[in-house]
Amino acid sequence: MIKPAIEVMGALPTVVIGLVAGIWLAPIIEQYLLAVLALPLLLAAAVLLCGALTHRFMPRCRPGVDPRAAAAAGVDGAAGAQPGAAAGGGAVR
Per-residue pLDDT tens listing for the chain (93 residues)? 888 888 887 887 888 888 888 899 888 888 888 988 999 999 999 999 999 998 888 767 667 777 777 777 766 655 544 454 555 554 454
pTM, whole model, 2 decimals? 0.42
Percent helix, strand and coil across the chain, each to the nearest 5: 65, 0, 35
Output the pLDDT for position 61.
66
Domain ranges of the chain: 2-57
State in Å, rounded, how far the first CA of the chain is from the last one: 80
Burial 29-59, CB ≥16 within 10 A → b, else e? eeeeeeeeeeeeeeeeeeeeeeeeeeeeeee
